[in-house]
Each structure stands twice: as structure tokens, then as C-alpha cells.
Amino acid sequence: MRTSIATVSLSGSLTEKLTAASRAGFDGVEIFENDLLASPLAPEEIRARCADLGLRIDLYQPMRDMEAVPADVFASNLRRARHKFELMGRLGADTVLVCSSVHPLAVDDDALAAGQLHELAVLAQEFGIRVAYEALAWGRHVSTYEHAWNIVETADHPALGTCLDSFHILSRGSDPKGIEDIPGEKIFFLQLADAPLLAMDVLQWSRHYRCFPGQGGFDVADLVRRVLHTGYEGPLSLEVFNDVYRQAEAGPTAVDAHRSLLLLQETVGVTTPPAPVVPTGVAFAELLTPDAEPVAALLGALGFTRTARHRSKPVDLWQQGEARVLVNTGPAGRRDGTSLAAIGLESPDPVGAALRAEALLAPVLPRRRAAADAPLDAVAAPDGTELFFCATDRAGLPDWRGDFEDVPHESGPGGVHSIDHLALAQPWHQFDEAALFHRSVLGLHAQESVDVADPYGLMRSRAVTNTDGSVRIALSVGAAPSDDTVHAQHIALATDDVVTAARRFREAGGRVLPIPANYYDDLAARFEFAEGELETYRALGILYDRDAYGEFRHCYTRTVGRVFFELVQRDGGYRGYGAQNAPVRLAAQHTVTGG
């Protein structure tokens, strides 16, 4: 199907918005009146610009407070409409959106509304224009799609149809089942938006918190299926009012928007892109650093051993059990010090995973490699993290470890057996995009967002995981964009005995994050522990949590650059990430950094 996006969904000038929409792959746009009024380009120039970019102007919007008004107001409305219809002819747009009235003089009179909309449609037809009547969720007298359709049906004019908007329908809790009773040819336009489920005034909800399909709590796919069942042949168009999108760069936002429609079309069965290839594990985590010495010291204290060196690149492989960390000291090192730059994901079909990623608009990364290097496909996540699709020790498939040569080493005492999860700090404007990316491109399941109290605001976190938990990625964004403590990344290492692992770490010279005594006093009030157990946790900086499935014990290292490590012990099927303890950890990190 054709895809479209309202210019109000993107930031920047009208020219910047059109360029972003075209580059992201959209077929058309809705020109929002405010964008046109603020543009220095004449309507003919905008029309030509859209044509050059391969964009069709699918809708001009909005016209407000047109119907069910006193005669003198309606006469003024018709004069205004004539002017706008002439403008649309210059613009090359043939459909206009008319929102249900919120005019203070509007009356609750469906017959009057139908009659005036009929007159408007007669005028529109003279200009070759169609009128799409939409029920605003906060309309003065018409606030549901069923009511709007009844008025359109009563008006009975070929140039008058209805516009369906998923936000206005689903935010009111309306049943979309009735959509199937509307003839497809009378649905002139379909606007789509998702939103988090919030208990607030619907107008404020609409104006500030809409998001792209798949990023909120609405069942947008079910609504689209019902619309398509009517025979609707128009575009799927996004109309999203969102404070974050209005401030973020238009290009990435447009890509995120188009990706949401690609996933939506797959969900409703309109398209069949390459199927998701869900990763089955973490092959490695790669740290990029300008100085390997502090990283090596930290890894050594954690029990890792430097086992191999890349044949042609300044990359060392450190390993403990199935946990592998690459340390890259190449010239591309970031100025802000050590960072988690790449993740190797075990994939049952690396080629298929790359094809899926490319189809869902993930940037495919060029890779400099020697002729003998393993052909690893990599894509970039929204935050810039490189994701490699790997087949470690799999017969018949290239093994990335073949690029490394063993170095003399002695195995450490062990204790860590794998990477439990990875935590990636997201730019403040890409949190929702990151969740949709990992869900759509990698086929991971996104859990509910969690808000965590930080000393300087709130931190949002959302985990994405595969079915068995062998891949867990925690996405987070803090309230202070310039705060490196909030935006630190970390690697959580799984152990069966966190007490022993923490002791070995300290004995090897490692420093755990100090936890305030007040935390342990509260822990004693909330849980019962065996004799001496809580004292051990206090001495080693170990935190504790439990859920309906099991227990969680964990502790943290100090931060190096933008990265720290976590030792975690899951018992009995614990499913969380210690969110209950996150405020304490964040406060402790602020204290250490500040000191």
C-alpha cells in the first residue's frame, strides 16, 4: 500500500520535512496548514518540490468549525473554503480534511450539520476536491466515527466522505468493529497514530503523546484490518503530534515512522518482508576504548582472560565461560572514553537476519575486512550501536573467532558463565524508536516501560528479550541529557554464586560500587535472611530483589569511561533486572562520580 505522513509529525521547515519523508521512503504527505503558511515557497513551488521528491500531496489539512453553525458563520466558512480550494488547486492536492466542529456557536443538530457539509461538498466538487469529514475525540457535538459517518451518509454527496483516525477512535475506547459497515469508497482517508495508555484529558493526550504504530498501547493493527476489509484503497498515513518528534532531527524520525508502517503492513498481511530471525544468544560485547589498560585491569579482576588477538585489527578477545568481551583500541575510539560500541548476536540464519534488517530500514554498515576475515553482516541500531549477526562454532557457517589468533594465557578461577544482559543508554529522543527497532528488526519482545527515580529526574527503561531470555537488552534514557552517569552503559555477567564472584573481584583489586547502609537497613525490614546473609551483602555491596518467580542478587563495578559491569545471580526463574534497586544504584553512581 501507499504510505504517507503528515508534515506536523516531523520537525524543521516544510522543505526539510518533505526531504526527510522522501528519503525515508514515503509515497506521499499531508500538508499541514501551519507548515504551508510558514513556508517562503509559493504553493506551485511546493507542488514542484514534492514532484521532484516523488511525493504526492495526499491531503491538505485542516479546515475547522465548518458545520452546524449559524447561517452567517457558515457563509463566512464558505468564503474561506473557496479560498482554500483555490489554494489546493495551486498546490495539487485533491482532498481536504474537515474536523468536527468545536465552535462555541455550533449546535447539536445533525440535519443542519449534514446540510452544511452537503453545501461544502458541492463547492468542493467545482474545484475537483473531496471533503473528508473526521470526528475529533473532543468535538463539541460530534466526537465518534459512527456519528461522523451518519452525518456523511445523511449529507449524501459524492464529494463528501469520512476520514478515520485511529487516535480519535481508540482513545475514546470506541469499538472499531462498526468501521466494516462503512463502504470503502466513502472512507476518503485513514490517519494512524498510536499512544501510550494514559489517564488524562484526551486533547492534551492527543497533542503531546501520540507515537508511531507499535510504540504505544493501542491495537492499531486491528483497526487497519477492519478498514482494509471495507475495500479502502487510500494510503496508510501517519498523523502524530509528539513533543519529542517536534524537537528531534527530521531524518531519523521519518525513518522510524516509515519502519512502523512497514511493520504494520506485515502485521495485517499486506506485505511479506523477510521473516524475523530471532537471535539465540550473545556472541560478544565489544568495548571501544582509547586506553586498554583500565579496561584490561577491570576484566582481569572480574576473572576474564585475554585469550586471542585479531589478526589485522587492534582488538583483543577476553573470555570467561561463554562470556566474551572484545576490547578495541582502534582509531575510531570515541572521545568520551570507553563505550559499548557493538554486540554480536548469535543467529540461526545470519544472512536472513541481515536481509530482514535491511528490509526494515536498518542501516547496513560497511565493514573493512581482510580477505580471510569472516563475512559478518552488521547493522546500526538507532543509538549507533553496531549489531553483528554471528554463528559461533556452527558447522558450515563462518565463525567470527577464526579472525583471531590465540595468545598464551592461563585460565582464571572462573565464576562467570555468560552475559546475562546488556544495558544501552539511548539518546533522549530515540527511546521509543529503539524499542520498535529491536522488536521489528530483531524479532525481540518488548516488555513494559519502567520509570526509575534518579536523584536528578526520572530514568525510563524498557527491556527487549527473546523467548528464553538468552538475549536481554535493557534500553534506557535519563532525564539529564548531559549527565554521563545517567547515560552509562553496562554489561551484566551471569554467575551461579555472586558472593564468591564479588569476593574474587575484590581480592583481585576490583572496586565494587559502594551501597549506602540505609539500603541494607530497609532490606532487613522487607525480607528475612539467613543468619549472616545480609551482613555479607552489606560487606560486598550486593543488592537483592525477588519477584513471583525467584530471587536476584547483583553488584556493580565502578565505571570506566561510559561503561560498568554488573555481576548477577538469578535463582528460580527471576525475570526482572533489579529495577527496585536502580534508584539506589543511580544515586551511588552520582555520589562516586561527584566525588
DSSP string over 319-332: EETTEEEEEE--TT
| CB-CB contact of 498 with 570 (8 Å) | no
ω before 213 within 30° of 0 (cis)? no
Please name the helix (run of DSSP H) or strand (run of DSSP E) that holds residue 389, with its range, or none: strand 386-390
What does pLDDT average to over the chain?
A: 93
144 pLDDT higher than 60: yes
Which superfamily, per CATH, for 3-267?
A: Divalent-metal-dependent TIM barrel enzymes (3.20.20.150)
Q: What are the tens digits of pLDDT across the range 241-268?
A: 988 888 889 999 999 999 999 999 999 9
Q: What are the tens digits of pLDDT across the range 382-403?
A: 999 999 999 998 878 889 999 9
Comparing C-alpha atoms, which of 401, 261, 396, 249 is closest to residue 322? 401
What single-letter DSSP state applies at residue 268?
T
The CA distances from residue 469 to 278, 295, 354, 543, 579, in Å, are: 12, 27, 22, 21, 17
Please tell me if the domain spanning 281-406 has the same topology as the one spanning 416-594: yes
User: 3-state DSSP call for residue 524?
Assistant: helix
Say what the pLDDT of residue 484 is.
Answer: 42
| CB-CB contact of 580 with 545 (8 Å) | yes
3-state secondary structure 480-535: CCCCCCCCCEEEEEEECCHHHHHHHHHHCCCCECCCCHHHHHHHHHHCCCCCCHHH
Read off φ and ψ for residue 459, nearest 5 degrees.
-115, 130
| CA atoms lying within 13 Å on the CB side of residue 196 | 11
Pick from 209-213, 309-313, 322-326, 423-427 the range whose average pLDDT is largest.
322-326
The CATH classification number of 416-594 equals: 3.10.180.10
Q: How confident is the model at residue 374 (pLDDT cuts 50, 70, 90)?
A: confident
26 pLDDT higher than 60: yes
Q: What number of other Cβ atoms are within 10 A of residue 399's Cβ?
A: 15
Say what the pLDDT of residue 479 is.
Answer: 54
| CA atoms lying within 13 Å on the CB side of residue 75 | 3
Say what the pLDDT of residue 332 is.
Answer: 57
Q: What number of other Cβ atoms are within 10 A of residue 481's Cβ?
A: 11
Comparing C-alpha atoms, which of 39, 21, 38 is closest to residue 30? 21
Read off φ and ψ for residue 426, nearest 5 degrees.
-100, 145
Q: What number of other Cβ atoms are within 10 A of residue 240's Cβ?
A: 27
Say what the pLDDT of residue 595 is.
Answer: 43
- Name the grid cell of 272: 511479506
Say what the pLDDT of residue 457 is.
Answer: 75
451 pLDDT higher than 90: no
* Residue linked to cell 522522501: 22
Comparing C-alpha atoms, which of 294, 281, 289, 350 is closest to residue 314? 289
Say what the pLDDT of residue 458 is.
Answer: 77
Q: How confident is the model at residue 13 (pLDDT cuts 50, 70, 90)?
A: very high
Say what the pLDDT of residue 366 is.
Answer: 78
Q: What are the tens digits of pLDDT across the range 290-302?
A: 999 999 999 999 9
DSSP structure string for 132-190: EEE--TT-SS--SHHHHHHHHHHH--TTEEEEEEHHHHHTTT--GGGGGGS-GGGEEEE
What average pLDDT does the segment 535-556 reach?
97
What average pLDDT does the segment 131-146 reach?
96
Q: How confident is the model at residue 443 (pLDDT cuts 50, 70, 90)?
A: very high
Residue 383 one-letter amino acid = D
Q: How confident is the model at residue 369 (pLDDT cuts 50, 70, 90)?
A: low
Say what the pLDDT of residue 283 is.
Answer: 97
Say what the pLDDT of residue 511 is.
Answer: 94
What average pLDDT does the segment 189-208 reach?
87
| CB-CB contact of 249 with 16 (8 Å) | no
What distance in Å separates the CA atoms of residue 13 and residue 35, rounded to the nearest whole number?
7
What distance in Å separates the CA atoms of residue 553 and residue 473, rounded to the nearest whole number?
18
Say what the pLDDT of residue 368 is.
Answer: 66
Say what the pLDDT of residue 371 is.
Answer: 65
Say what the pLDDT of residue 73 is.
Answer: 96
Q: What are the tens digits of pLDDT across the range 471-502?
A: 999 999 865 444 444 468 999 999 999 999 99
180 pLDDT higher than 60: yes
Least confident of 177-191, 280-294, 300-314, 358-372: 358-372
Give me the residue spans of the domains in the chain: 3-267, 281-406, 416-594
Say what the pLDDT of residue 483 is.
Answer: 45
The residue count for the chain: 595
**CATH fold for the domain made of 281-406:** 2,3-Dihydroxybiphenyl 1,2-Dioxygenase; domain 1 (3.10.180)
Say what the pLDDT of residue 382 is.
Answer: 92
What distance in Å separates the CA atoms of residue 31 and residue 34, rounded to the nearest whole number?
9
